[in-house]
Structure 1
C-alpha cells in the first residue's frame, strides 16, 4: 500500500512538472512548439503508412506469382511504389527539419531558464543561501541540467505521440489477427517499465552524489590552470599534488557512474533476452499461420512489422518515461530554487530611507547562523553618530565582519534591532537601503572586466559617466596606473578573458584594492564602511590613501575596521570587540588610559614601529578629540561594564599583527 501511494505521488508529480515544462516551452517559442508537435505527428504516421504500403506491394507480388497478369498489376505497383517513395522522402526530410526546430527551441528555452534562474538568484537580498553547500549542489545541477528539461520534455511528448500512434495502430492490427499475441507482447514489457523507472531515480541520486565532487574537481582544475594560482603552484611545486586531487575526485565520480551503468547493463541484458523470446514466439505464430494458409504473404510482412513495431514502440515509450522522470527530477531542482523565499524578512509596506542626520544605533544585537551554531555576537549595543567616524578593533574572529554583514543587511540579527535615525532598517526596502551605503570588504571582488566597468559597478546607473569614473580613480590613487594600461580604461583586467587581438592586463594586490576603493567612491552615500581598506597597500600608497580617507570621511558617517593604529587614530571614537561583545569604547587616549585590551594591542604595535625605526602614528588634532554627549554616555556605559585586562591580552595582541 505504501509503495502504491509512492507511485501515485510520483505519477502525479511527473504529470504536473511535465505540464509546467510544456507551458514554459510554449511561452518561450510558441511557433516552434506548434511546428515541432506537427512534425512529430507526421513522423508518427510514417511507419504505419510504410507498413501498409509494403503489405500492398507484397500482396500484388503474391497475386502475380499466382497467375495474375503483370499488366493489370503494373498501375497498382507503380502507385504503391511512388507513394512509398514519397513517404520515404517525407520521412528523410522531416528528420533534419525536426532537429533544427528542436535546436531552436533548445536555444530559446536555455536562455529563458538561465535568465529566470539567475534573476531569482541575484534577487535574493541576503546571502545565507550562498553559505549553504546544499544550495550550491542544487544550483549547479539546476543551471547545468534543468535548462534542457523543457525541450527534452517536448521531444518526449513528440516521441509519445509518435510511438503512441505507432503502438495504437499496430496493436489494433495484431488484435485483429491474434488478441492473445497482442496481450502477451504488452504484458512482457511490464518488467522493463519497473526497472527503467527505478534506474531513473538511481541516476538522479548519482547526479546528486557526484555534484559536490564535481565542484571540487572543477576547483582543482582551476588551481592547475588559472593565472592567479600559477606562481604559488610552481614555487611550492604543487602541480602534482593538485593533479592527484583532481584525478582522485574525477575517478570517484566516474566510479559511481560506472557502477550505475553496470547495474543497468546487467538488467538490460535480461530484459533484451525476454524481449527476444517474446518476439521469436510471435514470429513463429505468424509464420505458422502463413503455412496453414490463413494469411497472405503481405499479411506476413504486415504482422511481422507489427510485432517488431509494437515491441520497439513499447520499449521507446518506456525509455521515454524514464527520461521524462530524469527531466522531471532535475526540473524540480529548478522550480525549488524559484520557490525559495527571501532569506530576509521584507516588509510589505516599506518606507523611504531618509538621509542620515542623527546616527545608527545597534540595540541589544545578538546573532548566530542557526540554533545549532554558537553565538557570534551577543548583546551588542553601539551608537554611530551621524557625520562621525567609528573605528572597530578586535582580534580575528571577534565578530567584526559579521557586524558589517548586519549593518549592510546581508543578514538580519537573531535578536535586537539596528536603527537608522531611530527607524528599524528592516522596514526599508533592502536595495533602497543599500543605495545609502558604500562598502569595501577585505575580500572584495576582482571583476575580470574592463577597468572602466570595475569602477562603474559601484554606481551602475552612472556607467557612462566617464568623468565621474575617472574622478573616483583619481581619489583612490589608481588613475595613472589605469591610463598606462594597453587600452586605458577599456583594458580587460584579465589575461584569459581578453578579447582576440586585445591584450589583457592584471593588477597587483594593492592596485586591485585601490580599484575597489574607486568603485566604492562612485556612490555619494550616507554611510561608509571600510573593512581593512589598506591591507594590501605599501607604505607610500597607504599614506596617500589616508590623505584621501580624511577628505572622504569628512562630515560623513563611517565605520572603519583595521588592524593599523595609524588609521584607527583618524576615527572620532573607537570600539573594541571581544568574543562577540563590545568591551571598550572611547577615544584613543581614553582607551590607553584604561590599560585594557586596546592599550595592549596598541603597545604591541607601537613597539614594532619603534623596532623598525618607523615613527609612531601622529597624534590626533583637537578638532577630532571633540566628543558628543551621546558618545560620552556610550563610552561610560561600555567601559563601566568591561572586564579588566587579563595577563593573556598581550599575547593575544600579537595575533592582530
Structure 2
C-alpha cells in the first residue's frame, strides 16, 4: 500500500513537472513574441516550410526512381519525359527554396535572439534595481539566483529559440512522414516510435543533472570570477606586486576552475556512455526497419520508387524523433534556467511596503528612534538593542563608537535599507514604514564610509547625487565647491568631462584620483541633492588633517538648515555637533554635549582623552 502511494506521488510530481515545462515554454514563447513579433512569426513560418521539405524531397525521389525504372524497361514516351521534367522542376524549386529559407531563418533567429536577450537583461536589471532593501544583496543564495538568471540570458534565448524551432520543424517532418510509414507497416512504425521512449527518459535525466551541476558550481564560478578580477583590475595591482601575491591568486583561480571542470568532465563522461547506448539502440531499430523494406522489395511488393520513399521515411522519422528528443531535452535545460529568471522576477520586497503610502512632509519636529532593536536573522545575535534617542530637526547629532558597535547598521535603518526587528523610527511622529522608501530617501543625502567610485566622468560622479540634474553643470560645480574639489577638477585637461578610470577611458585620457580626492567627490555627490537630512558616515576618513579641518569648518555653514547625523571615530570633529551619542555593543550608553560628556567622565571622556594623548605623543 505504501509503495503504491509513493508511486502515485512520484507520477503526480512527474506530471506536475511536465506541466511546468509546458507552461514555461509558453511563457518563453510569449516573451519572444513580445520582444520581436515580426521575426517570431516569420521564423515559425519558415520552420514549418522546412519541416515539409523532407517529404517533398522523398516524394520527388520516389517519382524519379519510378520514372527511371519505366525508362529502363523501354517504356519511354513524351508523357513520361514531360512527367520527368515536371519532377525535376519541383526538385529544383525545393532546393532553391531550401537554400533561401535556411539563411533567412538564421537571420530571423539571430535578430530575435538579440531582441530577446536585451528584453531579458532589462527585466533582470529592472528587478534588481527595484529591490528597496539590502537583505537580498547580503544573501549568497540571491547572488546564485542572479548568476543562474544571467546564465539563462546568455544561453537561454538562443537555446530556447533553437529548441522551439527544432520542435516545430521536427513535428511537421514527423507528422508528414508518419502517414507514409503507417500505410507501409503499422507494426514497424510502432517499434520505431516506442524505441524513442528510452532516449526521452535518459535525455531528461541528463538535462536535470546538467542543471544541478550548474547550480552547484554557481558559487565556484563567482569565486573564480572574483580571482580573475583581482589578477587584472588596477586597484589590486599595487599590493599584488608589493607582496608578490599574484601567484597565490593565480593558483586559487586555477584550483577553483579545475574543480569546476572536474564536475563538468564527470557529467559529460556519464552522458557520453548513455549516448553510446542510445546510438546502439537507434542503429538496431534502423537496421531492422531497412531489413523489412529490403525483404518487401525482394518479395515484389515494392517498386524502386517505393524503396526510396520508405527508406527516406524511416530515416526521416527516426531523425525527426531523435531531434525531437534532443529538442525536448534542451527545452528542459531552457526551462530549468528560465525558472531562475522567473524566480528572480517574482521575488517580493525584503520588507513590507505599505500600500497606503503617506506623503513625506518636510521635517519640522525631528526623528525619533523608539526602542529600536535589530538583528539580520533569528540565527544572528543582536546588532542593535533598545536604541532610544531624538534628533531634533535642523540640528546635528554625532554618533561615536568603536568599530563594530553598530553605527553603520543604524544608518541602514534610518535610510530604510533595513527595517527594525523591533521598535519604530518616526519622522515627525510617523513611522517611516508608512512612507514609500524611494520617496523617503529623496529627503535624505549621504556619504557612506564605503562610498562608490564610478568609472565615469567627474560630472557623472557628482551628478548621480541628483539624477534629474545630472546635466546641470552649474549645479554640479556648486556641489564640487562645497566639497572643496572644484579647483582640482578645473585643473584637469578635460575638466568635469574627465573620465576617472584607466580602464574605460580612451587611451591616455583616464584620470585616477587619490583616496582623499575620491572622498571629496563623494561629499560633492551628497551635496548635489538639496536634502533635509544629511548623513555623514566617516566623511573624512581618507583626508589628511589639514583637509579634514578645512572641510569641517566648511561644513558648519553648509549644515545650517539641515538635520544632520555625523558618524565618526575622530573625537576632534564631533564638537561641532549639537548633541553626541555614544554607541557601545549595540546600545546607546551616553547622550549629551561635548562638555557634558567630558564632565561625566565615562566612555566618551576616556576615548577623547586617549585620542588627545595620542596626538600629544606625536
Matched, 1:430 2:437: yes
- 1:596 equivalent in structure 2: 602
Per-residue deviation, residues 51-79 of structure 1 (Å, max 9, x unmatched)? 11011111111111222126543222221
Per-residue CA deviation, residues 337-384 of structure 1 (Å, 9 max, x unaligned), is 111111121111111111111111000000111111111111100111
Match of 2:138 among 110, 126, 131: 131
Alignment of 1:5-404 (within 5 A): 5-69=12-76, 71-146=78-153, 148-150=155-157, 152-404=159-411
My pick for the range that moved more, 295-304 or 338-347, is: 338-347
Of residues 572, 584, 589, the one that matches 2:578 is 572
Shift of 1:601: 0.9
Question: 2:459 aligned with 1:464, yes or no?
Answer: no
Query: What SS does the corresponding residue of 2:373 show, helix, strand or coil?
Result: strand
Instruction: State the distance in 1 between where 2:155 and 2:31 align.
Output: 12
1:560 equivalenced with 2:566 (yes/no):
yes
TM-score, normalisation: structure 2: 0.97
1:110–1:148 CA contact under 8 A, matched in 2:
no
Alignment partners' CA distance in 2, 1:345 and 1:283: 67
CA contact (8 A) 1:440 1:531 kept: yes
Cα deviations across residues 266-307 of structure 1 (Å, max 9, x unaligned)?
Answer: 000000011101111111111111111110111111111111
- Aligned equivalents of 2:168, 2:572: Cα separation in 1: 76
Cα deviation, 1:436-493, whole Å, max 9, x if unaligned, reads 1011110011111110000000011111211110011111111122122232111111
Say whether residues 1:505 and 2:497 are aligned partners. Answer: no
- Distance in 2 (alpha carbons) for counterparts of 1:443 and 1:328: 39
TM-score, normalised relative to structure 1: 0.91
* 1:585 and 2:567 matched: no
Report deviation, 1:158.
2.4
Q: Which moved more, 1:333-342 or 1:150-159?
A: 150-159
Per-residue deviation, 1:431: 0.8
- Asked if 1:534 corresponds to 2:537, the answer is no
Contact kept, 8 Å, 1:367 with 1:375, in 2: the verdict is: yes
Tell me, which stretches of 5 or more residues in structure 1 are unaligned?
613-657
Give 3-state SS (helix, strand or coil) of 2:141's partner: helix
Task: Give the 3-state SS of the residue equivalent to 2:528 in structure 1.
Answer: coil
3-state SS of 1:293 partner = coil
The CA deviation string for residues 380-409 of structure 1, in whole angstroms up to 9 with x for no partner, is 001111111111111111110000000000
**Retained in 2: the 8 A contact 1:113–1:147?**
no
Assess if the C-alpha contact under 8 Å between 1:109 and 1:147 holds in 2: no
- How far 1:148 sits from its partner (Å)? 4.9
Between 1:92-101 and 1:543-552, the stretch displaced more is: 543-552
Q: What is the number of residues matched between the two proteins?
A: 611
| CA drift at 1:502 | 6.2
Give the Å deviation of 1:527. 0.8
How far is 1:542 from its partner? Answer: 1.1
Once residues 171 and 456 of structure 2 are traced to their aligned partners in structure 1, the CA distance between those partners, rounded to angstroms, is: 52
Match of 2:3 in 1: none
* Paired residue secondary structure (2:49): helix
Unaligned runs of 5+ in 2: 1-7
- Aligned partner of residue 576 in structure 2, secondary structure: coil
Partners of 1:487 and 1:569 lie apart in 2 by: 39
Asked if structure 1 preserves the Cα contact closer than 8 Å seen for 2:455 and 2:500, the reply is yes
Q: CA deviation at 1:231?
A: 0.6
Do the aligned partners of 1:114 and 1:147 also contact (CA within 8 Å) in 2?
A: no
Q: Secondary structure at the match of 1:559?
A: strand
SS at match of 1:569: helix
* In structure 2, distance between residues paired with 1:223 and 1:250: 15
Residue aligned with 2:588, SS: strand
Distance, in Å, in 1 between the alignment partners of 2:257 and 2:98 is 42
Partner in structure 2 of residue 619 of structure 1: none
SS at match of 1:390: strand
Of the three residues 521, 541, 563, the one matched with 2:527 is 521
Question: For each residue in 1:573-604, what CA deviation from the matched residue of structure 2 results, as whole angstroms up to 9, or x when unmatched?
Answer: 11111111101111112212222111121111
